[in-house]
Amino acid sequence: MRIFAIAFVAALIALPAAAADVQLKKGPGLDKVEANCQACHTLAYIPMNSPFLNAAGWSATVTKMIKAFGAPIDDGDAKAIAEYLAKNYGT
């Protein structure tokens, strides 16, 4: 158990350094993604999840972040974020 705890802490320390180099595709809405999404988590989740999500999946994910996790994203930004994700990272 102790080894697991040490490995977990090491991963938490290393993840932000690795995620800092994530460069998302340029396009309309990227500024909204950067301003809203990375306030709570790394942007590395976007390309990591892109093989699994289509436009409906990205829209549902943005809605989940707002309604379930309380992300303070207004409706206009939410729409722009979902559109950006679907266009650039949708299946």
Write out pLDDT tens, residues 17-66: 454 578 999 999 999 999 999 999 999 999 998 899 999 999 999 999 99
**Residue 71, pLDDT score:** 97
Q: Is residue 6's pLDDT more than 90?
A: no
Q: What is the 3-state secondary structure (H, E, C) of the chain?
A: CHHHHHHHHHHHHHHHHHHCCCCCCCCCCHHHHHHHHHHCCCCCHHHHHHHHCCHHHHHHHHHHHHHCCCCCCCHHHHHHHHHHHHHHHCC
Mean pLDDT score, 77-83: 98
Domains of the chain: 24-89 (1.10.760.10)
pTM for this model (two decimals): 0.76
